[in-house]
Amino acid sequence: MKLQIVPAVTGVTWVGLGLRTFVRQPLGMGSLFFGFVILISLPSIIPVAGFLIALTLVPAGTVGVMAGAERAQAGKFPAPSLLFAAWRQGSAQTRSMLLLGVLYAAAIVAAIAASALVDGGQFAQLYLGRTELTQELASDPAFRSAMWVTLLLYLPISLAFWHAPALVHWYAVPPLKSIFFSVIAVLRNAGAFLLYGALWLTLSVTAGVLVLFLAALTGSPALLAVGFFPMGLLVAAMFFTSIWFTFRDSFLAEPQDPAPPT
């Protein structure tokens, strides 16, 4: 495995590939992403432990969507069973993926716990779905500060775990090393990732504005409630499809690397 340095404009290419690949296989990639959402949502019905289980499953679920994107980009149908690709590489790989999931869950919990020190746990309660967002809560300076603290802490977590699941799955890299290599790869290709993130943010905002425009055009406030959720899922599915390409172009396989999973 060799790190590749790509030009900043590659960030645009990643977004374009994600969009085109999803459009090429909308049913397959849509089903995979929907399955991923269900995978990390179902455990949440279990009090406390369910939230931790859901976080632990995120890396493996992400690999499933990436495997689907790899297959779709090759012109093949991404079967829903690919969602469980991360668990089919033997016991050693399974343990590595589980450990990576535990590390990811611990990092997220630490970020949420840090926010509780700022506002007494108001943002944490909202994040866990135990309270609803009200105008009074949103206007609370402590709540807003806690939200920003969580966001700022999530950025390095995202950087650390961006490539880590794929490195564990495709190159059998140990979990801690995969986190280290992920940080290095993202930082070395910072220009491409900044442009990539900016474009996805722009597309997300544009999609939201489109829903607002259609609601205003039709004079139907209900369209906001009905339209925002599926539009958000669509953009998120396209975004997750594009993650595979950020990994594919950041690392180059070498002869001594493990054979990639089928």
262 domain-assigned: no
94 domain-assigned: yes
In the chain, the number of structural domains is: 1
pTM: 0.89
- Contact predicate 109/137, CB 8 Å: no
Question: Considering the chain, what percentage of its residues have pLDDT values greater than 90?
Answer: 61
- Contact predicate 221/25, CB 8 Å: no
C-alpha distance from residue 253 to each of 1, 96, 171, 192, 262 (Å):
5, 20, 8, 20, 15
Longest alpha-carbon distance in the chain: 62
Residue 15's pLDDT is: 96
Q: Which residues does residue 252 pair with via DSSP β-bridges, in sequence order?
A: 2
177 domain-assigned: yes
| Amino acid residing at 161 | F
Give the chain's mean pLDDT: 88
Range among 20-24, 143-147, 232-236 with highest mean pLDDT value? 20-24
CA atoms within 13 A on the CB side of 180: 5
Mean pLDDT, to the nearest integer, of 99-105? 96
CA distance 78 to 81: 8
pLDDT digits (tens, 9 = 90+) for 39-62: 998 888 887 788 899 999 999 999
- Contact predicate 260/172, CB 8 Å: no
6 domain-assigned: yes
CA distance 58 to 155: 16
Q: What share of the chain is helix, strand, coil (3-state, %, to 5)?
A: 80, 0, 20
Mean pLDDT, to the nearest integer, of 83-89? 90
154 domain-assigned: yes
CA distance 27 to 69: 12
260 domain-assigned: no
Supply φ then ψ for residue 257, to 5 degrees: -70, 155
Full domain range(s) for residue 164: 2-252
| Amino acid residing at 183 | V
258 domain-assigned: no
pLDDT above 60 for 205 = yes
204 domain-assigned: yes
